[in-house]
Structure 1
Amino acid sequence: MKKPRLIPSLVTAFLLLFLTSCGYHNPYVYSGPEKSIYIAEWKNRTSELGLDSQIYRSLARWYQKSGSLHVTKKKEGSDLILAGEIVSISLPSLSYRSNRDAAEVKLTLRVRYILKDIATGKVLVEAPSEYYTESFLTSSSSAVEEENKKQALEIIIKDLSQKIYQRTLVQIPKL
């Protein structure tokens, strides 16, 4: 006659109880009072056309992760304003082939931005100069090289947007 296996059942029950009551929350989601964010059109001081639109779309996607933060196209009635500027983009070579052609390039994007509470004028986040870098390989094919550059820029924009979003989530509860 077998004895009932009580220990594994207790462990399983304890584990389920612990996981459901541990208070875990997703750090990428703001669940406080509803806030609307006006994202101003970023000034693009570079020759990279459409970069400002890419940043806007990426930021909007991050803010949409939260049910309580809403991106609006009108400044009037908004709680917060996020404004920024794409200051520069540089493409210095990192390594060279035997024929002295660049083999790898480091794309560096310099931006500045500010997030303010519109009602009080309080600055929540200010970055007077931030640099984001990503390397990419060059190619004898200009189409391949342009695609590599595009992918590096997409990584930078995603990282930039994520950082701004996370900094926003940290500062909003302090209002």
Structure 2
Amino acid sequence: MTVTATRSRAGVLTGVLTAALVCTGLMAGIFFAFTVSVMPGLHETDDRTFVTAMRGINAAIENGLFGLVFVGALGFTGLAAVLLARSGRRAAAWWAGAAAVLYLLVLILTMGVEVPLNDQLARAGDDFARARHDFEGVWVPVNDLRTVLTALALACLGPALAKRTAGVSR
């Protein structure tokens, strides 16, 4: 392989890892913001305000940029793990793979628990106390778990990025 090809592949790998780091970091920040400010703040409101605010937040977050970052975190992280493994950088591949698995759990929790709860809240009607009761007690702790998992995934990407330039291990 030529020096130019090696540098080109290294550049692609660095770009993919950087995209994984940025997307995962943005998602960790969103989940963290809900954990430490949005949900505690809404918890102090009346039922109508809570339900109306969450409905608005859920509608607003369904946009292309959020979707790109949300899915990109897993896509770029998984791709980084594969590229690192194929280039023989086992330690870095392990860290990126761990990040991908952790973020996959976030995706499963989001699609399997949070999105159905969001949809249920959107259809709940005007019994705000009931809608809030059915939503808040499950959504909040699951989001807290997503926050921890995404932060751990982000933490795994640091060593993956640092070890990407380490010698090839067989």
TM norm structure 1: 0.30
Structure with a larger share of its residues in helix: 2
Larger radius of gyration: 1
Structure with a larger share of its residues in strand: 1
